Structures are given as structure tokens and as C-alpha cells.
Structure 1
């Protein structure tokens, strides 16, 4: 069993000045969630260290390093033990993630699995997966780790439940580097979008979770992901670039069937089809405008009609009085109302906000070690800390408690 007491009681030390006093609701949620998600750890000392690490992620201000978390325990030996628990132990993070996904899916309830990237800037070259990455948002090249997270998302909250670390090509040819970072032999080369697809498959299919739409909130979908949209029977939706070529097959836009056109031009021509769509639950601090959306049935021009590839729907979104379209999305959900697709898109905004406001606060990017296994264990427990923050907030009025 895991001790269900606040940090100061468990460790025998008063919380230091830099720690944040937890609320009763948060402590209760921590006790309930940790009992469920840490149950796969085989030893009681591992479950105790897991709970201590969670407490540190939730209470320490500033960087959530192993050293800063260990200060809550009061002795230098505790730092060594905690470092071993995260970086050198043998416990498997996958059962913890699966239990977390099941608990969060029960509590929200989940509307969709939102798949989104995470960039972690790094100063050196030794952290696992670090490489050069050009950031369009910043207009510069970063030295960074890149990962893909799968988020259980609802209108009221979102929580990351699975992660896949992207390894640049340089990490697949340097055996010494892989050995130093303890990269397993099974970690083969794949694109960032390949990471996204595999992470979503593991989460929903591999773990036997309920089938829900998967929304890929990436920069834009490349050709392999577009083909996945057209061939998969799973409900999928992906952000696409303005220049993505598509063939219109929608009867309301007759006469365009034979000419592949860029997605932004198709949606510009569909401007008179725009309709207001519900906001859903508003995000805190957001100035509400009038969101608009339009949907057009399309096909991929590389796969002619009559092939095994399915028709798709192109969704354009934007706000009244602003540039149209602001965003473009492609989905294989061709039989649902346009408003449903618009609500799926709104879940990506929910996940983006929660990533910035909550995940970063509990240290999702703060792992300072070098190892592949250490990174995965840290982000797993940081995801659980994120869940405690979201589910333990009474202001969110979530429909279910963690069971």
C-alpha cells in the first residue's frame, strides 16, 4: 500500500519555503490516483519513491530536478536513491501510463485523443535524442529534444497519458552515443509523424482503451499520414498545410471534381458555406469571438475514385472578421455533423493551453539526466502529476472522481 499522507508527514520534515502547500482536494486526488497508477510497481519502496517524486513535482517551485525534489526528503542519500529510482531502476513505465490513461478516461470523460509535439531546448549534446531543430514559430534553429504526447482531452480538461521520444537520424548511426544514453535496441528510426502514429496506436489499440477520434495537432500532415487518413477505419483528424493538394468531390461545389487544388483555395471558394459553430466550454482568459467553420468533401488526388481509399472531409475554421481560413483540418469522419468536427478541433486548443499552464508547471520538460529510460520515467510521473492538478481542481467540476 502507498502511504496516504502529505509530504511533510511522510518524510518527517517540514515543507521548505520554496514548496507550495497542497490543498486538501489535491492531496485526496494524489492519494487516489497514485494508488491506482503506481500499483504495477512490484516493491513497496518503489511505490513510496514514486509517490515522493509525484509530491515533489507538485510542490517544489522552479525547476523540478531530482536534486530539488530530493530536498523535500532532507538528506543527500535521498537524492542518490531518487536518481537511481528514475534513471537506473528497472521498473516499466508502460503499465503506469496505461493505468493513468484508464483513470483519466474514467474521470473526464475523454472525447478524443489529441496527439501533439513537445520541444525541449537543451544546452548540450548528451541528452538522449537531442538534435538541431528549426522552429517555424521562433524562426530559428534550436538544440532540442523532440517528443510526441498523446493527450486524453475533454472540454473541461486534458491530460497527457503516453509519450514517444523522437530520435534524429544521428542517433541511429552513433553506437557509442546510444550506449551512453541506454537507448534500447528496439528504438529504430522513424519520423516525428511516425512517432505520432505509433504513439496513438499503442495508446488506443495496444492498451484496449475505448475507440475515440484521434486528432493529430502537428505542424501539417505529410503524405504518409494523409494516406493513413484515407485508408484507416479508425476515426482520425489531422491539421494540414495550405498547399496540400486535394480533389473536390462535394456536389455543392460542382465542376471542380477533375482539378486538384490547394486546400486553402478550396476553402476560400467555400467561404459562402461558413456557419457559426458552438464555442463549447470557454477557455479561461480567452476573448470570445464568433467562430466559423465550413466543410467540403474531398479525395486525395493520388488515389482515384473507385480505389480502396476513402473520401475525406476538409474542415476550415476561423473567426468572424479575421483571415479565412485560419486553420485547415482533414478527417475521415465524413458522416458526422460539421459542428462535431469543429468541437474536435477545439479540443486541441484545450490541450495546448493545459500543456503551457499545467504540464510545464509540474516539470514535464525538466528532466536533466541523459538516459532514455530516465526521460521516459520522468515524463510518466510528470504526466501523473499533471493529472492530479487537473482532477484535483474543484473549480473544474469534473463529472467523475478517480476510481
Structure 2
């Protein structure tokens, strides 16, 4: 799922001045939930360090951006030892960014952080599909508020397996609820589900949850988001089994077949859809999209073999969820390029295709902004410390993208 980043990349623009007034105003608003004045002060110091320090955002490097002789020790205590509740800070940040960005979707993006040792929390040897090999790494998911021009992370979950803290310390939430179909989420499902459900409890306006789910079974995601009454759009692999009407025979049967095969049955319904590439806003691209009503497999009758590995089943819908399968083709290509499942059954192909491209928006801002403000630079070993660091990273990211928005708006006003 998403983009694997194997090394920090720096995209800071030294020509742009550091706008301390925006940092001060945003930090004052978001950090107001911290009850102690010294915590609010340390939070502002940490964010300023993330925004101004060149290179890796180690505690020592962050301390050099301040004029306080004990900054390294106090910042370390603020992140790794203090007891402030990161979920309250993230709630404030999410509400502020929802108002500022008016996002179209909640995009869930994975982050794989390679590690040389195994002592940091959540570090495991994992197989990474995009690399085709196992990598010692931390694996997490971020929830991004994404629009066509900007995306910002507001919540994070770290996959820690059996090492998740079990004490009721501030900021620690329980795991995701078990899906109603009785299946238990795997490590990747668990963090993707819980990062969404926690944000949904903050009183935000529900948005479509957009996830590249090719590396995890979609069943637990579908069950959890359906139970939470959340709209979703999941990218799935071609071999995902689905149920659909037999479009080829005109008979009242339901086929069970891989998603890629079913997409070929809908090729005649392709229509062109234009979309703007977030990585290159000046480029207008075109995809060919088609949609097909499908069911998520539930309890069905006996199967009878059909040609090409397709099976016919009695059209019993008990336990099945009514969804749409969207396929996207590139011009002059016969094989489907992307496959997406959604419960937004009344949405048009244009709406769905443009929503799917918001994963590219989050990937672009992750590479150009979030890495530069320290998303993969945490050196501590604790679960609590990682979450507090990522909360401050999210706040620094918000400052940077709002600076960009202000800069772009000022440029449009001058040109007008």
C-alpha cells in the first residue's frame, strides 16, 4: 500500500522565510489542550526545530535551533517521558485543518521506516511488496485530510503486534474492534482501521476513506468501515474474489470471479475522465473508467464450475455487501491499470476516479513536506515517544502547507 520511502529526502526551500507568526498562531491554537505552560512552550520549540533544522531532526539538532542551554534535555523529556495526551492535540489539529483545507477525503497512507537495529518499538522483519524483499522496519499508517491541492496528516498508528502497551496511559487507545464477520484484522489491517476509527470519534465531518489496500485483505476494512457507517474507496488486487451479475449471458445468475476478470466484462462501459496530477498540477491527465455493481462475498449457495475459473452461485445475498467495482484503463492499453471497491454506489465514475487520485496527493506532500519535517527521524525507542514525535511532525507539516497556501494565494492576488 502506498509509497515505500527508504531514506529521508529534503525538499526544504531555503529561499522561503520562516514565518514565525503563523507558527505561533497555529501552535497556540493546537497546543491549547496541554494544561501546563511549560509543555506548550516545549511544543512550540519542538515544532520550530522541525521546521528550521537542516538534515536529520535528532534531539541534539533540534536543540541547536533554540537559545536555551538545556533544550536537548527538556525536549527529550517532552517527547519521551512526559504524560501529555497526543490524541487531544491531534483532535485540535484535525479540526483546524478540516476548516482550513475543506478536504475531499480521508486518505490512509502507510509509512515504512527502515531501521538498522531491532530495539525501537514496532521494528520487525517484514516483506515489502514494492521491493520484493524483506526489510527490517517500522510500519505505520497515517490518516491524511486530502484535497486536490493539499494534504496533511492528522492521525497516526504504529504497528507493534504483541508489543502494544496495555496500560491506560494518556494518549493510548485500545485496538480496533473486531469485524462483524468474525475475522480478526492482521497487523496491516489493524493500524489502517484504528487510525480511521479514532479520527471518526473526533467529531469531524465524515469523508470517503481512500486506501490502497492491495497488501492487506479488504474484508476487515470493509466490515469495520461498514459498521462505522463510513464511505470508502479501496484499491484492491486483481485476484480479489467478488460476486457480480453475469453480464455476458443475460441470465439471472451471480458470478464469483476475480476483480480483474469482472472488470473486463465492464470494458464496454468505459468513459474518459480528466484529472489533475497532484505531482504536476499543470498537467491534465485522462483515464478510462467503468463501474460494475458487485457484492462482497458472504454466505452463498453451492458453486458450479464455469469456463476460465468462473463459478456460478445462487443469488443469495445473505452476508454480502452491495458495492461498486471501478476499473481504470490507460488509453491504448487493454489490461486494467487499477481496481477500486466502494460502497458509494450512487457516485459517478468521474467522482470515484478523482477521489482515487488523492492517494497521489498524500504521497506527493509526504515526500515534499512530511519527510522534511522529520517523519522518519525519531530516534527514541518508546511507543509513547514515537506518537508524540509524530504529533509534532503533523503540526509542523500543517504550518508548512498553510504557508504554501498563503504564498500561493498571495501570488494569485498579485497576478490579478
Give the TM-score normalised by the residue count of structure 2.
0.82
Partner of 1:215: 210
Shift of 1:109: 0.6
Within a 5 Å distance, the mapping from 1:119-268 to structure 2 comes to 119-169=112-162, 171=163, 191-204=187-200, 206-222=201-217, 223-228=219-224, 233-249=229-245, 254-255=250-251, 257-268=253-264
Which structure 2 segments of 5+ residues have no match? Answer: 1-11, 177-184, 301-315, 411-416
Cα distance in 1 for residues equivalent to 2:376 and 2:408: 25
Q: Is the 8 A contact 2:245 2:294 kept in 1?
A: yes
Partner of 2:181: none
Q: Say which structure is richer in strand.
A: 2
Partner of 1:113: 106
Q: Please give the per-residue CA displacement for 1:63-89, whole angstroms capped at 9, x wherever unaligned.
A: 011110001124552101111111101
RMSD between aligned residues? 2.9
Q: Is the 8 A contact 2:295 2:321 kept in 1?
A: yes
SS in 1 for 2:365: helix
Cα distance in 1 for residues equivalent to 2:254 and 2:87: 48
Distance 1:47 1:325, change over 3 A: same
Q: Is the 8 A contact 1:313 1:334 kept in 2?
A: yes
Partner of 1:38: 31
Q: Is the 8 A contact 2:278 2:364 kept in 1?
A: no
Shift of 1:38: 0.6
Which of 269, 272, 296 aligns to 2:292? It is 296
Shift of 1:286: 7.5
Shift of 1:90: 1.1
Shift of 1:226: 3.7
Cα distance in 2 for residues equivalent to 1:350 and 1:250: 36
Q: Is the 8 A contact 1:119 1:145 kept in 2?
A: yes
SS in 2 for 1:118: strand
Q: Is the 8 A contact 2:274 2:285 kept in 1?
A: no
Distance 1:373 1:324, change over 3 A: same
Residues 1:271 and 2:276 aligned together = no
SS in 2 for 1:149: strand
Partner of 2:326: 315
Partner of 1:401: none
Shift of 1:22: 5.5
Residues 1:372 and 2:383 aligned together = yes
- Size of the aligned set, in residue pairs, is 372
Q: Is the 8 A contact 1:275 1:293 kept in 2?
A: yes
Q: Please give the per-residue CA displacement for 1:230-257, whole angstroms capped at 9, x wherever unaligned.
A: 6653211111111011111386984484
Which of 8, 17, 20 aligns to 1:23? It is 17
Cα distance in 2 for residues equivalent to 1:362 and 1:98: 20
Residues 1:381 and 2:392 aligned together = yes
Partner of 1:3: none
Distance 1:345 1:254, change over 3 A: farther
Q: Is the 8 A contact 2:30 2:89 kept in 1?
A: yes
Q: Please give the per-residue CA displacement for 1:230-285, whole angstroms capped at 9, x wherever unaligned.
A: 66532111111110111113869844843211101111232221111131475337
Distance 1:396 1:154, change over 3 A: farther
Partner of 2:362: 351
Q: Please give the per-residue CA displacement for 1:28-83, whole angstroms capped at 9, x wherever unaligned.
A: 33122111111111122211111111111111111011110001124552101111
Q: Is the 8 A contact 2:245 2:255 kept in 1?
A: no
Give the TM-score normalised by the residue count of structure 1.
0.84
Q: Is the 8 A contact 2:140 2:156 kept in 1?
A: yes
Residues 1:53 and 2:46 aligned together = yes
Distance 1:300 1:187, change over 3 A: closer
Shift of 1:335: 1.0
Which structure 1 segments of 5+ residues have no match? Answer: 1-17, 399-403
Partner of 1:336: 347
Cα distance in 2 for residues equivalent to 1:252 and 1:102: 48
Q: Is the 8 A contact 1:19 1:59 kept in 2?
A: no
Cα distance in 1 for residues equivalent to 2:282 and 2:126: 30
SS in 1 for 2:139: strand
